[in-house]
A and B are shown apart, each in its own frame.
Chain A
Amino acid sequence: MPSASSTNNPPPSGPRRPRGVAMFFVLGIVAVMVPLLLLFSMIGSSQAKQAMHFHDRITTEAIAWSALEAGIARLQASGGADLVSGSLSEVDYQFSLNPTGTGMASQALFNVFARSQKGPFTYIYLTVCEQIPRSPLAPADPNPVITHDFWGTVQNYDITQAFDCVAIANARGADYLEWERTVTYEQDRTDAEYRAALLGKASGLPPEVAANWSAIVDELARQKAVLTP
């Protein structure tokens, strides 16, 4: 007669071998997947993101500068007031040729704006261009274009709007006025006064610059702005 304990034993639930194989596979998959996930997380780490972040900044700036050069080239090819939009390497750019009048030598004056944007990065450049008509004797030549006062900003302006273009020109103008102030400062001093003022700053210079400061002052004095009669 069977005992009570043997009567209560559950029936065998099947061969134990498949369960062991299943556990083996599960553990094997875990052993492979965990390092892989760690590796992928390292590849997508913040360092890699920072590198891409910076790459986008450089690309955006380079394309804005290229757009500015494209605008200047448009003037060399007899272009006038214009607004051009496009994209390069999936980065949007625009350049705008804004006439500002006529110069004393009958040359056309332009403010050339260029803008590029990718994600949160915006770069805008502005330069003044003087477009001189090509000689009638050489109709195939490009128009000579004189460029000056290149200026840049990372502020987000819309160069398709006249109001924003004026704001950009005004911001550039503030820096331009500061430059004029330094020119006036140089003009109002004799060579000796200018040199003495600069030499007086030597005590506040870092040693790396102070080591050659005397020679640097010589060069600054040589390039000092002077009032032309």
Chain B
Amino acid sequence: MAAGLLTVIVGIVTQWFFSQRQYQDRITRLSDIQENLRQATFAMARELKTGRQVIWPRVNPDQSPRTDSVLVFKNFRGAIVAFFHRPAERKIRRVVIPNGPGMPVEDTAPLGDGIASLTFTTMGPDNKLVSLHLSTEGVHHLDAVRLVNE
């Protein structure tokens, strides 16, 4: 009888454990995606915030926002920097184009990994407000950065 009761309890606990584990895996997965999107945004925003000019994309002639998957700007040091999304690799890459002699150099490490889509939207009359929209597996992250330097 004791063995029978023990079997029932172990069965219930095992089922509960596996259902909790599945639930935990799902929560952890969503949390990881959110953290990943935030981390990629953070990596871009740090340099972008103290940048000087957004070169690409430009707001439309009627001042309406414009969206692209490539962002080109001049950073604090005056170098031309491009952030772009590579869909096949699901990565965000950064390339520095010297504003002077020298050829472009792409960073070996990506700014973000496991990102399904990324768009940059510029807005405002001075083209200095950039909205970042990232998404992966139905999880979306939206943030905006304003360039504070001239």
Residues in chain A within 8 A of chain B (CB atoms):
20-21, 23-24, 27-28, 31-32, 35, 38-39, 42-43, 45, 47-48, 50-51, 54, 57-58, 61, 147-152, 175, 178-183, 185-186, 198, 201, 203-206, 208-209, 211-212, 215-216, 219-220, 223
Please name the residue on chain B nearest to A211 by beta carbon: B70
- Per the bound structure, the CA–CA distance linking A215 and B82 in Å amounts to 14
- A58 and B38 in contact (CB under 8 A), knowing A43-B24, A206-B95, A215-B56? yes
Instruction: Enumerate B1-41 residues with CB–CB distance to A below 8 Å.
Output: 2, 5-6, 9-10, 13-14, 16-17, 20-21, 24, 28, 31-32, 35, 38-39
| Neighbour of B55 across the interface among A43, A48, A51, A223, CB < 8 A | A223
- Per the bound structure, the CA–CA distance linking A45 and B25 in Å amounts to 12
Q: Are A186 and B99 in contact (CB under 8 A)?
A: yes
- A216 and B55 in contact (CB under 8 A), knowing A179-B76, A206-B95? yes
A208 neighbours in B (Cβ, 8 Å):
69-70, 84-86, 93
Q: Are A50 and B35 in contact (CB under 8 A)?
A: yes
- Per the bound structure, the CA–CA distance linking A206 and B72 in Å amounts to 13
B interface residues, how many (CB within 8 angstroms): 53
Residues in chain B within 8 A of chain A (CB atoms):
2, 5-6, 9-10, 13-14, 16-17, 20-21, 24, 28, 31-32, 35, 38-39, 42, 46, 49-50, 52-53, 55-56, 58, 68-70, 72, 74, 76-80, 82, 84-86, 93, 95, 97-100, 103-104, 106, 148-150
Q: Are A223 and B53 in contact (CB under 8 A)?
A: yes
- Per the bound structure, the CA–CA distance linking A167 and B92 in Å amounts to 33
A54 neighbours in B (Cβ, 8 Å):
35, 38-39, 42
Tell me the minimal C-beta distance from A146 to chain B in angstroms: 11
B9 neighbours in A (Cβ, 8 Å):
28, 31-32
Q: Are A185 and B100 in contact (CB under 8 A)?
A: yes
Q: Are B82 and A209 in contact (CB under 8 A)?
A: yes
B98 neighbours in A (Cβ, 8 Å):
201
- Per the bound structure, the CA–CA distance linking A28 and B13 in Å amounts to 10
B58 neighbours in A (Cβ, 8 Å):
219
| Most-contacted residue by chain B among A43, A151, A152, A208 (CB, 10 A) | A208
A32 neighbours in B (Cβ, 8 Å):
9, 13
